[in-house]
Amino acid sequence: MATTILTAALLICFFGTMIAVGFYCRKHATDVNGFVLGGRNVGPWLTAFAFGTSYFSAVIFVGYAGQFGWNFGLASTWIGLGNAFIGSLLAWSVLGRRTRLMTNHIGSKTMPDFFSKRFGSDKLKIAASIIVFVFLIPYTASLYNGLSSLFNIAFSVPYWVVIVVMAALTCVYVLFGGYMATAVNDFIQGIIMLGGIIAVIIALLSSQGGLTAALEKLSQIPSSYPETSQTQGAFTSFFGAQPVYLVFVILLTSLGTWGLPQMVGKFYSVKNEDAIKKGTVISTVFAIIVAGGCYFIGGFGRLFTDKLVPDGNTEAFRNFDAIVPTMLATLPDIIVAVVIILVLAASMSTLSSLVLTSASTLTLDVVLPALSRKNRQVSQKKQLVILRAFVIFFVAISAAIAIIKDSYPEFTFIAQMMGISWGALAGAFIAPFLYGLYSRKITVASCWVSFIFGCGIEIIQLFQMWNVITFSNPFLAFVFTNSLYSGVFAMVGGLILVPLVSIFTPKCDKDMTDRIFACYDCEVVVPVTEALGK
């Protein structure tokens, strides 16, 4: 009863704040540039928190933390650190400045539009838009995973009610305030995530008698994996019970952010050089605490084996989404209430980012160009109406998919599509986007190869999951073991193929490329504290 009252009170405050921010930020969403990019005038704290909260959702806290904590033990913390230093620090350092400069210079608002203007090909824009639409929708629907089991700790409400409420409230503040509303709410939600993770770590370790006692208990649990041959201490070892699998998880969840449109899009709107420098540090620290904390918590999941696996058959255990809720159910009421708000905040922040990305891509890269070809002029007001209509559409369709997946478990293809979405998007986009920022020699043909290779690998993975195809070749059998392995293969393969194909295929128009890269050649005057004189 106490948990219900506390959670209800916090939820009312949380929802009220989110809606108030949406109304407050509506003045920033009076044109398309403001609605989609916040006028390219967003400071370091808002941008860094928007990046971090879009990165880490309920999928990470409930799903991945439970699953990989169970598989790797405390070594799963490496995933969080990889997310911080590869997915945040390196992403900001390598992509931040150049993305902001080039996208502003060529007037690009979305990733498909970037491909079109950077490589001079409208067909690339259409193809990229289709990829975003096809693979971002199931990824968006996956954000609702894990909410049901957590909410059932405090409330006895149907899962579909939780989904509808979350979707409706997210839709409201995005519709009113656009990108700026999502950025401000992301900042608030990020603060909740930071405080919640720290509180859960302290409470969880205290419930186990402290860090030393928890580590000692975990070290006594033997591993059943062949690599560690029933040895004790595998779940407290440096690289865990399955080190090869761990490396692939780190690569997919960390390097993948470099090619996801909803992540890269945060760099489009950053205000200035100072904001990029500060945002790099803020984003990295945020990821260390949130991602590192999530996976650290999940690493102690096997201490609750008696509640999760009453028959003791841990080899057959697959209900990974139940691990974190089971751990949290043992904690004080106030911690449980905070965690429910934490997971809801993480889900809503990522949902708003994905929905805004999907709606802006479909509107700006598909609908408006189609109307333009018919010589139909669309005012800013009408463009905003179309944008908001697609926001509603994407929120509704993602909620519907999540409800169908929960109500009809036989539709296993939905869950499988969710699993391959990240790999397909990152595999298709990471190489042409990264190289497109740095090299004048990347060709249109190489972009097509990357699109086809990245999506093709994950479609093959989907067919393998459906048992439509099987592989006798050891290498292919390894690549398509699961969507994690194939996702990494898609990304790394694209990074190799794009420069190779560019060597043998026709280059883009030199004058066009020189005009685009001129944005890096402009001279600016800075004080000697930032750059030494001659």
The CATH number of the domain holding residue 253 is 1.20.1730.10
Task: Out of 381, 407, 433, pick the residue that ends a domain.
Answer: 407
The contacts of residue 95 (CB under 8 Å, 6+ apart) are 258, 264, 267, 434, 437
Rg of the chain (C-alpha set) = 23
**Within a domain: residue 528?**
no
Between 287 and 157, name the one with better pLDDT: 287
Indicate if 371 and 428 belong to the same structural domain: no
Q: Flag whether pLDDT at 70 surpasses 80.
A: yes
Indicate if 351 and 230 belong to the same structural domain: yes
169 touches 19 (CB < 8 A): yes
Domain that holds residue 100: 2-407
In angstroms, the CA 26 to CA 279 distance is 24
Q: Flag whether pLDDT at 229 surpasses 50.
A: no
Instruction: Kindly report the pTM of this predicted structure.
Output: 0.90
Q: Flag whether pLDDT at 438 surpasses 80.
A: yes
CA nearest neighbour of 341 among 1, 9, 2 = 9
53 touches 190 (CB < 8 A): yes
Indicate if 474 and 403 belong to the same structural domain: no
User: Residue 22: what pLDDT?
Assistant: 86
Task: Out of 376, 407, 438, pick the residue that ends a domain.
Answer: 407
**Within a domain: residue 491?**
yes
Indicate if 294 and 427 belong to the same structural domain: no
Between 389 and 323, name the one with better pLDDT: 389
Q: Which residues pair with 232 in a beta bridge?
A: 222
How far the first Cα of the chain sits from its last, in Å, is 70
Q: Flag whether pLDDT at 65 surpasses 90.
A: no
In angstroms, the CA 12 to CA 6 distance is 10
Indicate if 414 and 396 belong to the same structural domain: no
In angstroms, the CA 30 to CA 20 distance is 17
**Within a domain: residue 531?**
no
User: Residue 532: what pLDDT?
Assistant: 66
Q: Flag whether pLDDT at 37 surpasses 90.
A: no
Indicate if 402 and 456 belong to the same structural domain: no
Q: Flag whether pLDDT at 227 surpasses 70.
A: no
**Within a domain: residue 534?**
no
Compute the mean pLDDT over every residue in the chain, rounded to the nearest whole number: 86
User: Residue 141: what pLDDT?
Assistant: 82
* pLDDT band with cut points at 50, 70 and 90 for residue 111: very high
Domain count of the fold of the chain: 2
Indicate if 179 and 88 belong to the same structural domain: yes
For residue 445, the surrounding DSSP H or E stretch is helix 444-465
Structure tokens, 159? 């899962």
Query: Cα 350 vs. chain centroid, distance in angstroms?
Result: 7
Local structure of 379: helix, strand or coil: coil
User: Residue 102: what pLDDT?
Assistant: 94
User: Residue 344: what pLDDT?
Assistant: 83
Task: Out of 338, 373, 407, pick the residue that ends a domain.
Answer: 407
Per-residue pLDDT averaged across 92-99, rounded? 94
Phi, psi dihedrals of residue 61, rounded to the nearest 5°: -65, -45
**Within a domain: residue 530?**
no
Lowest mean pLDDT among 84-98, 144-158, 240-254, 339-353: 144-158
**Within a domain: residue 496?**
yes
Could you give the residue ranges of the DSSP H alpha helices within 108-225?
111-119, 122-141, 147-154, 159-207, 211-219
In angstroms, the CA 67 to CA 166 distance is 24
Indicate if 358 and 467 belong to the same structural domain: no
User: Residue 499: what pLDDT?
Assistant: 97
Indicate if 394 and 511 belong to the same structural domain: no
User: Residue 99: what pLDDT?
Assistant: 94
**Within a domain: residue 527?**
no
In angstroms, the CA 381 to CA 379 distance is 5
Buried b / exposed e over 355-369, threshold 16 CB at 10 Å, is: bbbbbbbbbbbbbbb
* pLDDT band with cut points at 50, 70 and 90 for residue 340: confident
Q: Flag whether pLDDT at 409 surpasses 80.
A: no
3-state secondary structure 262-331: HHHHHHHCECCHHHHHHHHHHHHHHHHHHHHHHHHHHCCHHHHHHHHCCCCCHHHCCCHHHHHHHHHCCC
In angstroms, the CA 469 to CA 397 distance is 30
CA nearest neighbour of 282 among 185, 180, 184, 190 = 190
Local structure of 145: helix, strand or coil: coil
Structure tokens, 327? 């751990």
Q: Flag whether pLDDT at 286 surpasses 90.
A: yes
**Within a domain: residue 529?**
no
Indicate if 395 and 478 belong to the same structural domain: no
The contacts of residue 364 (CB under 8 Å, 6+ apart) are 32, 36, 109, 110, 113
Indicate if 266 and 369 belong to the same structural domain: yes
Q: Flag whether pLDDT at 414 surpasses 80.
A: no
User: Residue 149: what pLDDT?
Assistant: 64
Indicate if 255 and 384 belong to the same structural domain: yes
Per-residue pLDDT averaged across 194-201, rounded? 90
Using one digit for the tens of pLDDT, what is the confidence trace for 297-322? Answer: 999 988 888 888 877 777 767 777 77
Could you give the residue ranges of the DSSP H alpha helices within 208-271?
211-219, 243-255, 261-268
